[in-house]
Structure 1
Amino acid sequence: MKVKPKEKTPRRRAFRLVGLGLILFGCFIRVMDPYPVRMTRLIYFDILQRAMPREYNPDLPVRVLDIDEKSLANWGQWPWPRTLLAQMVENLGEYGAAAIAFDMLFAEPDRYSPVRLLNDPALAGVVTVEDHAQKMDYDVLFGLEVANWPVVMGTAARLSDEGNQVSPTAGIIEIGENPTAGLISVPYWTPIAAPLDRSTAGIGGVNVSPLGGTGIVRRVPVLWGGPSGPMPGLGIEALRVAIGAPFILAEGASDEEGIMLAVELGDFRLPTTENGEVWIRYRHDQPELYLSADDVMQTPDDPDLRAEIEGRIILIGTSAAGLFDMHLTSLGESVPGVSIHAQMLEQIFTGEMLSRSDVTAALELLSFVLLGLIVIAVMSSFGAVASFVAGGAAAGVVLGTSWLAFQNQLVLFDVTFPLMGGMANFGMLAGYLFVSTEREKREIRQVFSHYVAPEILDEMEVSGHRLQLGGETQEITVMFSDIRGFTPLSESVSATDLVALLNELFSQVGDQILKERGTIDKFIGDAVMAFWNAPLPVEDHPCRAARAALLMRKALTEFNASDVMRGRPPIALATGCATGQACVGNIGSRSRFNYTVIGDVVNVAARIEQSCRHVEYDILVSSSVHRLARQDLAMLEAGFVDLKGKSDLEAVYALVGDKTVLDSPEFRKLSIAHGDLVVAMRDRQSHVRIEKMCQRCAMMAKEIEPGLQRFYLSLPGRTADFRSDVQSSQVVFSHHGRERQSSA
């Protein structure tokens, strides 16, 4: 019967409709621009700046006079008397500063003025001054000095209306439809103490972000909206005073009110956001930008200092830790707020102004739509892999365009939203394919779960349902572990309880095997078989198998102490491990097969496990395991044992512990004593001497591994297992036996 394939066109049409719906939803999200979308965009802009920060140019006419820790140490704690500040202004003016801008507030009268100290009730009768100084006001002296030089005073935004109203000294000329209506608004400005408000050449806002703003400073307002009209920022006002411009030109949109486009000041033009902010293109903070206030206060006339000040705008701020004026930049650096004003002035002088317009935002949205359409079209026609390649190529084009736009034009083009939109479309369609594939897998599992193990089903899924008979030869480590004393236990509990008990025991034992990356082959009654290094390669597989045996020993101790075994005889395990070549693969008939191992190493491991009763120890390993893992495990020679079906005797070793036990001083002593004991048995020394040596080793082993005591107590009866001539005679006997059989 020929089965007609399902029609793909309806599913393809559904793919495309859902994809288009996702694109429309994404456009709606972008227009709403929620906080996560904005923050992702801003973080990407920070990455662009960190990848290519602005270079510092020491020739630019901007410097910061830093009231640093050294200045505070030499001139006293802040605030300083206004007489010191007057001296600072005078020194800066005489050095030829083009403008002196204070990134600090003078909201209150100077408390150090004699006229105020005498009026302080707390100091009445304590402070006395000469008659001619009783009416001296340091604010008046400071104001007189400020009036002589191009000084800009700072004011800060505040929420309460206290003190006199602050009016800007700069004239603002507006072009367009009332562009200053959309400026970031400040409820009130911090007043400037008289007579400084009348003496200063300019007043500017010191804030670098709106009230309540925290985190990274990415944009700085050039103009603020205030109760007395637009107020320039400190940096732009310092520039106006430095070049002697009487006004600032605010350029706005001609067809829409409250949209700021740019600010012009003399020959400088600053593109702004619609609310009057400037994107700061940061550079790394440079020590060369800063001058110490202590140097200006102490040096009468220094040619080097004059070269740094003359003709430059001097911004006075602080980097002292206790004055709390540090801000985080897009480069991840914490800098003084005055440094941000300085960096804004630097980029005005260099013309390196970052820009981002509505056209840029529209192009970002268009990129999002195009990426979504590419993903939908390619995946619905050619599948997920082709869609991933095509979408990745388109995303690379968008990312490259963004980088080139920033590198060459200083345009901030966001790629995060277009890329996330493309990935969302890809994820949606890939999810559909995943659901379809999972449905097919469930159908296959439902059919085959009655015939094969779940592990084989997993391999069928990985290999594309192309399992076949056969295997490959490789080195593996095999473990057999059997319950000792199972018969008495089975006689003491019902069959139902016995099955539940075995299930719980094998669960705990199997967990230890899986923890060491082993593969559980099968459970055989009261025994378990596992192997390592297949189907996936496992480094140090002999060591891992041995460690699994040690973990099983520990898990068994906890199992015997659990409530399940209360009132029942304890269970013991006998475990044997061997390493060798084996055929690993799918073995069985064409209609039904198992993933297992076949080889002599399997028989060796099984026979070593059976030898645990003869050796009187619970974990034995072959000589191959000992050879490959002796640097990481504590093992002791346990003699030669006769393995059923093997012509030669097999050397086995008792596994005592892990690397910690191996490196312990106690085991080193035991190992030396054990070696002496083995030599004594091979040299056929007296039975009495061997018994004493066994007792001594048993006492030493008590604190290391209590199970070794039975091992040592049985050694006097097993001295022949350690003699090399026993193995050779056994080999001769085996050969003679085979010859006799051949003759018969």
Structure 2
Amino acid sequence: MRVKLAHILLLLTVIFAVLLYRGSLDSIDHLLQDHVMQHERSVDTTIAIIGIDDQSLEDFGSWPWSRNVHAQLLDTLSEGHPAVIGFDLTFPVGSEDPEADTEFAAAVARAENVVLPVYGTFAPNTEQGKIEALELSQPFEALRKAAAATAHINTITDTDRVVRKALYSFDYEGESIHSLSWTVYQKYREAMGGTADPQKLPLDDFGRFYIPYSGGNGDFEEIPYSAVLSGEVPPSYFENRIVLIGPYATGFKDDFLTPISGKNTLYGVEIHANIIQSLLDDNYKRVLDWKWNEVVLLFVALLAYLLFRKVKMLYSYAVIVVIIALLIFAGRFFYDQGIVISLGYVIPFLIVSCIIVIAFQYLEELMEKRRVTDIFGRYVAPQVVDQILKNGQEGLKLGGSRRELTLLFVDIRGFTPLSEAAEPEEIVEILNEYLDLTAGCIFKYDGTLDKFIGDATMAIFNAPLLLEDHPMQAVKAAWAMKEGSAAVEQKLFERFGLVVKFGIGVHTGPAVFGNIGSKTRMDYTAIGDTVNTAARLESNAKPGQILISEATYAFVRDRVSAVSLGEIKVKGKEQGISVYELEGLR
């Protein structure tokens, strides 16, 4: 069965459908989503970050600081009545200063709106469904009891180490542990007299939801920790705001790659700010189910097949580019509507389809050219076929070119008696064997097989391909025919008792070659006196004799053994022709 474009595109569609189902190209899909869909928006001034930045580290000394410092910060912030305070710092054990720990816990209790972090440890390969922690790192007991709530700060990255989704919650010993971002948002809504509905969250099979980032590095307001304690920023500045406290310096190693940060990173506290921002805006993104992405892929595959089949290829590629642009636009549009569609399969599918179609066309044209050459070359010289395929319509125009050529004619002597002695089928078999021998010798020495004329063969040397030493090539071909015919002659003599030999004539001179004939039927041949002279030499050659003209002999005299036969009179010429009988090659 011949492979068709439809078969290739069908196979390609199946491959990409399987890849989509298995998520094999998710890394490409994520990158496209990052660049096409994620984009910065204005951030809400409700959120303020108090950063443990380089300035604060310079003011208070190296980390960790005394927990009295955190207690002072909370007491200062409480004077301004912030809606909720979230720490992105863990305090799993007491410090070397128990009094400072007690004061810190008391400050947390006095604030009544502080959310402290916990951190879960999970099994290496967690299956789909509710995630359960093996261990849980929590604030030391007095601090945990003083907090308004505790919440996890686990950050889960994709395989390329980019944070694209937030883990809403996980279980630990039968208790559900919600994320810091969600808990801070929930506390803020309660402080403002509202409620937070977790049912709105479009969770995946692992309990995660997509993060639509709003701000990159530095987009959310960051206030140095020391600026608050020094009074540079008054407590009233934080009234009814969400305050996040966390590392804002690279030394803490609390920074992550995100879709919006490119090769740079965002601090963990900035990622929490982005998540809370999306919750405040009700900006939820539902990732389109893989089944619908499969439907999109199948539709695009069908469209690509119709384009490649019905439309000219150049236009098809242009339309494919337009389709890719429309898909990117659609991805951005649906993202703004709250739906994340997969582009990392359908766009590569279209690109790979184009590459495969180009390769398929090239191979198909190559095979077709080879097929035409093989078939057409049995009727016309392969060189002529190549010229026609190379030049297209130009190669089929009537007309000729003048050039010095060497013509070779060969005929079978004794063929008529043989025809009377053998059956027609045997005659065809014998003739084909002789003509195959002559054709093989001509091709071996780069000649052009012009035509078969009954039991005779005409060959041209130096057209259409240029041959630097065409007289010698023709002479070699003639000698090869004589040597090759010996075995055939012996077989025919034993079979029919008749002697059958070649008569060969070779002449060099100017002639016109090209497409000769009518617009509906033409031959690639040579015409002129040189052609006629070569034919006359062949007709005068005795069985087994090779006659070459003086013009040909002048080119090859130092490389052959030949005997001069003087001048012979040929039909159609008033003057005789000096000829030589070829006896061998030196």
TM-score normalized by the length of structure 2: 0.60
1:203 matched to 2:166? The reply is: no
What displacement does 1:195 show?
A: 1.0
- Among 138, 143, 150, the alignment partner of 2:105 is 143
1:714-735 superposed Cα distances (whole Å, 9 cap, x missing partner): xxxxxxxxxxxxxxxxxxxxxx
1:363 matched to 2:350? The reply is: no
1:86 matched to 2:71? The reply is: yes
Query: What is residue 44 of structure 1 aligned with on the other side?
Result: 32
Maintained 8 Å contact 2:164/2:258: yes
Instruction: Answer with 385-394 or 23-32: which moved more.
Output: 385-394
| Alpha-carbon distance in structure 2 between the residues aligned to 1:370 and 1:382 | 17
Maintained 8 Å contact 1:71/1:293: yes
Query: What is residue 484 of structure 2 aligned with on the other side?
Result: none
- Among 250, 253, 270, the alignment partner of 1:321 is 250
Maintained 8 Å contact 1:157/1:207: yes
| Alpha-carbon distance in structure 2 between the residues aligned to 1:346 and 1:66 | 18
| Alpha-carbon distance in structure 2 between the residues aligned to 1:450 and 1:357 | 58
1:3-46 superposed Cα distances (whole Å, 9 cap, x missing partner): xxxxxxx869x443453344334323222222xx1111111110
1:311 matched to 2:251? The reply is: no
1:570-605 superposed Cα distances (whole Å, 9 cap, x missing partner): xxxxxxxxxxxxxxxxxx96449xxxxxxxxxxxxx
Maintained 8 Å contact 1:326/1:337: yes
Query: What is residue 345 of structure 2 aligned with on the other side?
Result: 417
Q: Secondary structure at the match of 2:85?
A: strand
What displacement does 1:196 show?
A: 0.7
Maintained 8 Å contact 1:356/1:411: yes
What displacement does 1:405 show?
A: 1.5
Maintained 8 Å contact 2:36/2:328: no
- Among 267, 280, 285, the alignment partner of 1:354 is 285
Query: What is residue 338 of structure 1 aligned with on the other side?
Result: 269
| Alpha-carbon distance in structure 2 between the residues aligned to 1:284 and 1:320 | 15
What displacement does 1:92 show?
A: 1.2
| Alpha-carbon distance in structure 1 between the residues aligned to 2:128 and 2:15 | 33
Runs of 4+ in 1 over 6 A off after TM superposition: 459-462, 468-471, 522-525
What displacement does 1:242 show?
A: 3.2
Matches within 5 A, 1:377-392: 377-381=306-310, 384-385=313-314, 387-389=316-318, 391-392=320-321
Matches within 5 A, 1:28-427: 28-34=18-24, 37-50=25-38, 52-57=39-44, 59=45, 61-111=46-96, 113=97, 137-149=99-111, 150-158=113-121, 182-209=129-156, 215-244=161-190, 263-264=198-199, 269-282=200-213, 283-286=215-218, 289-299=221-231, 305-331=234-260, 332=262, 333-358=264-289, 361-381=290-310, 384-385=313-314, 387-389=316-318, 391-407=320-336, 409-427=337-355
| Alpha-carbon distance in structure 2 between the residues aligned to 1:25 and 1:249 | 47
Q: Counterpart of 1:421 in structure 2: which amino acid?
A: F
Q: Secondary structure at the match of 1:182?
A: coil
RMSD: 3.8
1:250-291 superposed Cα distances (whole Å, 9 cap, x missing partner): 9xxxxxxxxxxx815xxxx43333432221222233355111
Q: Counterpart of 1:218 in structure 2: which amino acid?
A: R
| Compared CA separation, residues 402 and 191, structure 1 to 2 (3 A) | closer
What displacement does 1:463 show?
A: 5.1
Matches within 5 A, 1:274-673: 274-282=205-213, 283-286=215-218, 289-299=221-231, 305-331=234-260, 332=262, 333-358=264-289, 361-381=290-310, 384-385=313-314, 387-389=316-318, 391-407=320-336, 409-442=337-370, 464=392, 466=394, 590-591=513-514
| Compared CA separation, residues 419 and 181, structure 1 to 2 (3 A) | closer
Q: Secondary structure at the match of 2:342?
A: coil
Q: Secondary structure at the match of 2:187?
A: helix
What displacement does 1:78 show?
A: 0.8
| Alpha-carbon distance in structure 2 between the residues aligned to 1:387 and 1:357 | 29
Give unpaired runs (5+ residues) of structure 1: 1-9, 114-135, 161-179, 251-261, 472-521, 526-587, 593-744
| Compared CA separation, residues 451 and 461, structure 1 to 2 (3 A) | closer
Query: What is residue 129 of structure 1 aligned with on the other side?
Result: none
Q: Counterpart of 1:236 in structure 2: which amino acid?
A: W
Q: Counterpart of 2:344 in structure 1: which amino acid?
A: T
Q: Secondary structure at the match of 2:116?
A: strand
Q: Secondary structure at the match of 1:31?
A: helix
| Compared CA separation, residues 378 and 84, structure 1 to 2 (3 A) | closer
What displacement does 1:64 show?
A: 0.9
Q: Counterpart of 1:19 in structure 2: which amino acid?
A: L
What displacement does 1:105 show?
A: 0.8
Q: Secondary structure at the match of 1:420?
A: helix
Maintained 8 Å contact 2:27/2:160: no
| Alpha-carbon distance in structure 1 between the residues aligned to 2:239 and 2:159 | 35
Q: Secondary structure at the match of 1:97?
A: coil
| Compared CA separation, residues 102 and 214, structure 1 to 2 (3 A) | farther
| Alpha-carbon distance in structure 2 between the residues aligned to 1:373 and 1:217 | 35
| Compared CA separation, residues 423 and 153, structure 1 to 2 (3 A) | same
How many residues end up aligned between the 2 structures? 397
Maintained 8 Å contact 2:76/2:235: no
| Alpha-carbon distance in structure 2 between the residues aligned to 1:357 and 1:444 | 51
| Alpha-carbon distance in structure 2 between the residues aligned to 1:151 and 1:96 | 12
Maintained 8 Å contact 1:208/1:340: no
Maintained 8 Å contact 2:117/2:138: no
Q: Counterpart of 1:339 in structure 2: which amino acid?
A: E
Q: Secondary structure at the match of 2:287?
A: coil
Maintained 8 Å contact 2:26/2:344: no
Q: Secondary structure at the match of 1:155?
A: strand
What displacement does 1:70 show?
A: 0.9
Q: Counterpart of 1:364 in structure 2: which amino acid?
A: N
What displacement does 1:67 show?
A: 0.5
| Alpha-carbon distance in structure 2 between the residues aligned to 1:319 and 1:68 | 5
1:330-368 superposed Cα distances (whole Å, 9 cap, x missing partner): 02131110100011111211222222242xx33322121
Maintained 8 Å contact 1:139/1:194: no
| Compared CA separation, residues 319 and 523, structure 1 to 2 (3 A) | farther
Q: Counterpart of 1:354 in structure 2: which amino acid?
A: K
What displacement does 1:106 show?
A: 0.4
Q: Secondary structure at the match of 2:394?
A: coil
| Alpha-carbon distance in structure 2 between the residues aligned to 1:398 and 1:201 | 47
Q: Which has the larger radius of gyration?
A: 2
Give unpaired runs (5+ residues) of structure 2: 402-465, 470-510, 516-586
What displacement does 1:323 show?
A: 1.1
| Alpha-carbon distance in structure 2 between the residues aligned to 1:339 and 1:379 | 48
Maintained 8 Å contact 1:206/1:233: yes
| Alpha-carbon distance in structure 2 between the residues aligned to 1:460 and 1:231 | 78
1:140-182 superposed Cα distances (whole Å, 9 cap, x missing partner): 121111111111111122369xxxxxxxxxxxxxxxxxxx992
| Alpha-carbon distance in structure 2 between the residues aligned to 1:288 and 1:440 | 64
Identity %: 18
Q: Higher relative contact order at CA 8 Å, sep ≥6: structure 1 or structure 2?
A: 2
